């Protein structure tokens, strides 16, 4: 099975802009997973030098449900189709019902929905987009396995849509460079609402995700994501982390481990 993933990974690299970037296992990065007893992968792509370093190459090429990282392409598609006017227009009106996350119980724009990782808002957005237009756009942006199935409220949470950490890198590089097949204004808007932090000479963009179920049964463990990029001194670094989540107390580790790695590798 390991060889199947590696062969698939080689084919992906041959067909993508990262061709020529050989995956290099990095002991410094691996140590962050080992010391936290975490099973996962991390990939860091230096766009300028076309170097690809990380931990757990086989897993880096393995596809998983994108979970809430899919809110990034979902926003792009919704804005491009005019389903929502802009990121500050109210996109979801709460009907008064109690929700799993109390912070979701209010009207929100896409800007706030992204910040809150507001599932009902993005499920409603996907339903307004519709199966046909959603599939057309997912295929156009070459996102993961490009398979959304028929259920517009769960395909990024339970499948059949899946994406690997390497494929997240491909997608995010295009967005960071405004090279997706969408208007620059729309890409600018999406980039703006996923900005997380800034320093003296760097800016961090990203989105977390948590897939709690697969298509047919409960996942044990569940899957956590943190993907994004760092702009630093006119240079661009794309990253993607996914990891097993044994219980919700581990969720903060998605960002903590990734940030520690970025601090160590990039001095942010």
d(CA 128, CA 149): 16
Which residue in the block uniquely carries the two structure tokens 């912070």?
A: 103
Closest by CA to 21, choosing from 9, 13, 30, is: 13
The residue ranges of DSSP E strands in 105-172, in sequence order, are 108-109
Residue 78, classed as helix, strand or coil, is: helix
d(CA 229, CA 240): 8
Cβ–Cβ under 8 Å, residues 157 and 212: yes
- Judged on CB neighbours under 10 Å (0-12, 13-18, 19+), 252 is exposed
d(CA 153, CA 143): 17
Cα-atom radius of gyration of the chain, to the nearest Å? 18
Instruction: Name the catalytic one among 68, 80, 109, 189.
Output: 68
Termini Cα distance of the chain: 37
68 is catalytic: yes
Q: According to the 3-state scheme, what is the secondary structure of 163-200?
A: ECHHHHHHHHHHHHCCCCCCCHHHHHHHHHHCEEEECC
Residues labelled catalytic: 68
């Amino acid at each position: 099975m390991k060889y199947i993933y590696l062969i698939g990974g080689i084919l992906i690299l041959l067909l993508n802009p990262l061709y020529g970037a050989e995956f290099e296992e990095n002991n410094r990065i691996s140590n962050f997973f080992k010391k936290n007893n975490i099973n996962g992968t991390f990939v860091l792509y230096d766009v300028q030098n076309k170097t690809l370093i990380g931990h757990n190459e086989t897993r880096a090429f393995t596809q998983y449900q994108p979970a809430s990282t899919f809110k990034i392409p979902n926003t792009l598609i919704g804005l491009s189709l005019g389903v929502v006017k802009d990121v500050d227009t109210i996109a979801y009106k709460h009907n008064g019902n109690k929700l799993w996350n109390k912070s979701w119980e209010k009207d929100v724009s896409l800007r706030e929905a992204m910040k809150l990782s507001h599932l009902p808002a993005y499920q409603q957005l996907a339903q307004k987009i519709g199966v046909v237009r959603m599939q057309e756009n997912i295929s156009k942006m070459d996102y993961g396995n490009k398979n959304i199935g028929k259920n517009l409220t769960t395909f990024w949470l339970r499948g059949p849509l899946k994406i690997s950490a390497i494929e997240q890198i491909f997608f995010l590089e295009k967005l960071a460079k405004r090279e997706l097949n969408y208007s620059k204004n729309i890409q600018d808007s999406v980039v703006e609402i996923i900005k997380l932090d800034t320093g003296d000479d760097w800016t961090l963009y990203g989105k977390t995700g948590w897939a709690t179920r697969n298509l047919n049964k409960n996942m044990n463990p569940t899957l956590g994501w943190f993907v994004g990029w760092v702009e630093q001194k006119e240079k661009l670094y794309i990253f993607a982390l996914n990891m097993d989540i044994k219980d919700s107390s581990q969720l903060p580790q998605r960002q903590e481990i990734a940030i520690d790695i970025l601090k160590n590798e990039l001095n942010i």
